């Protein structure tokens, strides 16, 4: 522990720690943006479920970040707390996939995602037929 406080570890360890901080910050930002994006969603039960899931994860993250800080400060249970965070991050990814699935349910999925574009299977009309 003394080597950590006196910056005597290998540089790769500090790069690893810094990357972890950036990773947690990035995923937390994604959670915050997802919570804001789904605020007020009530069009379908699937969208409400996704929005509620993001809100629950947001509150859980607010409660868990101080615990994470204490665990690293006192070097106890860091692996367990980190595992809890990764379960939350995985849940967030599953909510994103679930939300997309509910949005596209009942719609035919195609490779043409831009509306107004002519698809591969569309009939093309000549200018004389269009006018």
Would you place residue 90 in the very low, low, confident or very high pLDDT band (cuts 50, 70, 90)? very high
Angle at 21 between CA 99 and CA 39, to 5 degrees: 30
**Nearest Cα residue to 85 out of 68, 66, 71, 97:** 68
Task: List all residues 6 or more positions away from 24 whose beta carbon is below 8 Å from its beta carbon.
Answer: 85
Per-residue pLDDT, 39: 81
Confidence band for 100, pLDDT divided at 50, 70 and 90: confident
pLDDT of 122 higher than 60: no
Q: Do residues 124 and 86 make contact, with C-beta atoms less than 8 angstroms apart? A: no
pTM of the model: 0.64
């Amino acid at each position: 522990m003394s080597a950590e406080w006196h910056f005597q570890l290998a540089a790769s360890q500090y790069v690893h720690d810094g990357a972890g901080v950036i990773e947690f910050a990035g995923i937390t930002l994604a959670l915050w943006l997802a919570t804001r994006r789904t605020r007020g969603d009530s069009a379908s039960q699937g969208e409400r479920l996704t929005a509620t899931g993001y809100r629950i994860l947001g509150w859980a993250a607010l409660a868990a970040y101080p615990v994470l800080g204490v665990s690293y400060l006192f070097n106890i249970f860091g692996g367990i707390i980190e595992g809890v965070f990764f379960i939350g991050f995985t849940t967030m990814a599953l909510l994103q996939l679930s939300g997309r699935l509910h949005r596209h349910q009942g719609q035919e999925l195609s490779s043409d995602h831009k509306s107004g574009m002519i698809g591969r299977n569309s009939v093309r009309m000549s200018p004389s037929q269009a006018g």
